[in-house]
Amino acid sequence: MRLNVLILLLFLSPVLFCQNNLNVVNLKGELFKVYVNGQQFNSVSQAGVSIQNIKTDKVSIKIELDTKQSVENIIYLLDKGRPVNNKEFNYTIETVKGKTILVFGGISEILPLPDPLIPAPPVIDTTSKYRNNVLGHYCELKDSKPIYFNNIPKTGACAAPMPLAYLNYLNLLMVKAQSDDDKYLIAENTCNNNCISVSQLNKILSYIPYELEKLKLVRIAYFHLTDNYNKNNLDSAFKLEASKSELGTFFKNSEDYKIKTGASCKESSAENEINALVDKLSIYNNDSERFAVFKKSYADYCYTSQHIKTILSKFIHDREKLDAGKLLYFHCIDKDKFTEIADVFSYNTSIAELNEFVAKQKN
């Protein structure tokens, strides 16, 4: 007798203890109601319904779309004809030749939600991983944006090139960069802020696709080269003869060249030159166009903090004012007064970001 009961339980156990889910989705987003074994399941029409904890191998389903179309089926919750447990059966509602049908979409495991949903904070403090204790003063990330440090000696004379760790981190930033403009910005900041060897500059130039921009970077980095006697090796970074000729011309006239950066800016450009730049920026109606023109022209001059204040006042939004101000910092001849330009900003958060940037530039 006991043996018969045991056999009966073994036979019935897949039926008694099976527990599966049935998911029905309308991929077009059309709303519908579901009736399960004659009982209405959802009182409010939905585009997707999940019927959970079904303990039988088959279920009668009726779908009524808000468009008045309907379909009725018996769904068998079996895998290759055998009862299963803890599975999700997925069906989609489709329209074929004007007729609404249910289409089988597959079977998957029911994965439980993590408990708790929000994990507890780590016992080990990992914040040190984000501190700038490995990369020295190359840059640090804030809100996913790199903030660069100025590593040029206050004397302006570069003796030793930046550490290899800085170049390695530049490589990582370049790989993650989304556009050529982003790559140029990384290269420009690196050349503005660091003493660089010719071999390091060649590596930086290898990430820049356009030779005109490569020439701009050479003009920026030239005053920070630690082995100026190797400058002719930069010729290998250029393919066009016109670019190589322009590079040679720059080397011959570098001391008198108009573009001055970092420690090279000792005197401000002529007032009429600065005023011409200000007038050019005043022509445009929006900051986007104004900033594009600014980027093409600003590196030709050296500025006082008052000049910079006048230029930034031509921009409407703090975002462009900050971006322009950070670029102009490297051409400012009185950096000790640079924070006085804070008056042009509308928000305290912008002023705080400006002050933080300036702090990064001081050794």
Q: What is the pLDDT of residues 41-64, one digit of tens each?
A: 998 889 889 998 898 989 999 999
Residues 230 and 317 in one domain: no
Residues 310 and 335 in one domain: yes
Give the pLDDT score at 359: 82
Backbone phi, psi, residue 61, to 5°: -120, 135
**Separation between Cα atoms, residue 208 and residue 201, nearest integer Å:** 11
Give the pLDDT score at 267: 84
Domain that holds residue 205: 141-260
Position 221 in a domain: yes
Give the pLDDT score at 9: 46
Average pLDDT over residues 323-348: 88
Q: What string of DSSP letters covers 88-126?
A: EEEEEEEEETTEEEEEEEEEEE-PPPPSSSSPPPPSS--
**C-alpha distances in Å from residue 344, one per residue of 10, 162, 315, 318, 339:** 81, 34, 9, 8, 11
More confident site: 255 or 32: 32
Give the pLDDT score at 307: 93
Q: Band of the pLDDT at 147, cuts 50, 70, 90?
A: confident
Residues 303 and 246 in one domain: no
Q: Which among 88, 109, 130 is the end of a domain?
A: 109
Q: Which among 227, 260, 293 is the end of a domain?
A: 260
Residues 247 and 276 in one domain: no
- Say if residue 155's pLDDT is above 90: no
Residues 212 and 316 in one domain: no
**Separation between Cα atoms, residue 280 and residue 293, nearest integer Å:** 8
Residues 179 and 250 in one domain: yes
Q: Considering its fold, how many domains does the chain have in total?
A: 3
Residues 200 and 293 in one domain: no
Number of H helices, E strands in the chain: 11, 12
Position 306 in a domain: yes
Residues 255 and 278 in one domain: no
Strand partners, 95: 100
Position 186 in a domain: yes
Residues 87 and 38 in one domain: yes
